[in-house]
Amino acid sequence: MKPSPIFLVLGLFFLSSWGFNPHKKINQTAVFLLPTELASFYKTCIKQITDKAVDADKRCYIDTIEGPKHYIDLDQYENIDSIPIHWSKAKEKLNERKLLAQGIVPWQINRTYQNLVQAFKSKDNKRIIQLSADLGHYVADAHVPLHTTSNYNGQYTNQIGIHALWETRIPEMYMTDYDLFIGSAQYISDPVNFAWKIVRESNALVDSVLLIEKALNKSFRDSEIKSYIERNNQLI
Ligand SMILES: [Zn+2]
């Protein structure tokens, strides 16, 4: 989820009603894809890994530095290839405030991973669980094309609402049809490079996401596009 300060209060209201099922499902499924030596630990805390999948989004409402960790507006850079993939180099080359304003998800994935490694070294189970849940969240966010563009809710293309449609409503409706068991997890030797690969791939799909929604929108009557749904006993 990409937060906006204006919606802080609204966000707090919706937080209780929003299902957040996709993040939870992704974290839960990830546990089953882990190699045996890791899975045995993670299966003992799978409920926490699942429940805490949405903690990172919850923090956005109480911590202003949390928001930028969930996205990167790649369209705000003249040339994606000119962005240094390492945070220290990026800070040297570009203004840190500007970097933060445009989002830092690939760097955050690496930072959370490094913190997780430290937590394992110090055998801090509480921190291992929290950081693992957070890592699952940031990696999932990085896979959302709309998390890699400043037009994240279709506000520049008259497609307001596309964000929740894409990452919440559609998965909620079709999650049971998705094949989530994509094979066992592979070791990634260069996490920051891999995080950048993810956001580049996501960003390459932004046009498709916008174009497909536009085409679909035309094929439905207005009354068919928006409707009330009941979620956690609330009509929204
Ligand atoms: Zn998020």
For 147-213, the three-class secondary structure string (H helix, E strand, C coil) is HHCCCCCCCCCCCCCHHHHHHHHHHHHHHHHCCCCCCCCCCCCCHHHHHHHHHHHHHHCHHHHHHHH
Task: Quote the ligand 1 centre to 44 CA distance (angstroms).
Answer: 25
pLDDT, position 231: 67
Task: Quote the ligand 1 centre to 176 CA distance (angstroms).
Answer: 22
Task: Quote the ligand 1 centre to 208 CA distance (angstroms).
Answer: 21
Task: Quote the ligand 1 centre to 53 CA distance (angstroms).
Answer: 9
Amino acid present at 196 = W
| pLDDT tens-digit readout, 169-220 | 888 889 889 988 889 999 999 999 999 999 999 999 999 999 999 999 899 8
Task: Provide the mean pLDDT of the chain.
Answer: 89
Please report where in the chains the tokens 């993670």 appear, as a residue. Answer: 42
pLDDT, position 220: 86
pLDDT, position 172: 85
pLDDT, position 2: 52
CA dihedral of residues 151, 157, 160, 166 (deg, nearest 10): -70
pLDDT, position 222: 78
Task: Quote the ligand 1 centre to 52 CA distance (angstroms).
Answer: 12
CB neighbours of residue 160 within 10 Å: 11
pTM, two decimal places: 0.88
Residue 138's SS3 state is helix
Q: Does the pLDDT value for residue 125 go beyond 50? A: yes
Residue ranges per structural domain of the chain:
5-235
Options 3.30.70.270, 3.40.190.10, 1.10.575.10, 3.40.50.720; CATH for 5-235 is 1.10.575.10
Task: Quote the ligand 1 centre to 210 CA distance (angstroms).
Answer: 20
Task: Quote the ligand 1 centre to 64 CA distance (angstroms).
Answer: 13
Task: Quote the ligand 1 centre to 70 CA distance (angstroms).
Answer: 5
Task: Quote the ligand 1 centre to 137 CA distance (angstroms).
Answer: 6
Closest CA to 196 of 67, 105, 96, 88: 105
Please indicate whether residue 27 or residue 13 has the higher confidence score (pLDDT): 27
Q: Helices marked H in the chain — which ranges?
A: 8-15, 21-33, 36-44, 46-51, 55-59, 87-93, 96-101, 105-121, 125-142, 162-164, 170-174, 191-204, 206-218, 222-225
| pLDDT tens-digit readout, 53-69 | 999 999 999 999 999 99
